[in-house]
Amino acid sequence: MADIVLCNASPHRHGVCDALIDCLGKTVSELSVKTIALRDHHVAACQGCRHCSQRPDSCLLDQPGDEAKSLLDQLMQARFLLFCAPIYFYALPAQAKALVDRSQRFYAQPLALDSHSTTLVLLTAARRQGEQLFTGTLLSLRYFFAQLGREISQAKTLRGLDLRDDLLTNQALLHELGDWFRSWVNLRTKP
């Protein structure tokens, strides 16, 4: 199992989140890092059938070709997790929201909090303003990770990053994010 799991919730290949994941992964290259791009995995949308309320951790959509259970398992088992997502219309992209909804399987019997895990959240938005731009998503992610036995250790929100170059040309921001990420990794991966 990797020391660090970097989960990219962006549907946009080669976008801001890809650049963030690449840059942050390089700051800890001496460790075992696994990157999961949700766009590369099939997750069927929850149908609200309530099957999981009768049989916790069971879902009728767990069929060949559906990867929700595998993805949820990887997120639960990661000792150190970074979840990176863009904000579209004040919310997570559809693929990420589908995975969040599929965690409903744990609602009837939530997992115990794993105090040894670290979960960082990094949200990006093209918009520069909007008082509540990240509020709803952070609340959704708080309860999503709680279902998985995780607690958000820290969340960072970044505004005004529409294109990959908006990030890559901002060396001060890249340095700040690298230091932030590295400090968490150093704090939490020491025996």
pLDDT for 191 beyond 60: no
pLDDT of 32-79, one tens digit each? 999 999 999 999 999 999 998 888 778 999 999 999 999 999 999 999
Q: Can you list the domains of the chain with their CATH numbers?
A: 4-189 (3.40.50.360)
pLDDT of 79-125, one tens digit each? 999 999 999 999 999 999 999 999 998 887 777 777 788 999 999 99
Nearest-angstrom CA–CA distance, 77 and 124: 25
Nearest-angstrom CA–CA distance, 2 and 27: 15
Nearest-angstrom CA–CA distance, 155 and 55: 32
Nearest-angstrom CA–CA distance, 92 and 83: 12
pTM: 0.94
Which residues have C-beta within 8 Å of that of residue 65, sequence separation ≥ 6? 42
Nearest-angstrom CA–CA distance, 96 and 141: 10
Of all residues in the chain, the percent with pLDDT exceeding 90 is 79
Q: What are the counts of helices (DSSP H) followed by strands (DSSP E) for the chain?
A: 7, 5
Which residues have C-beta within 8 Å of that of residue 47, sequence separation ≥ 6? 60, 61
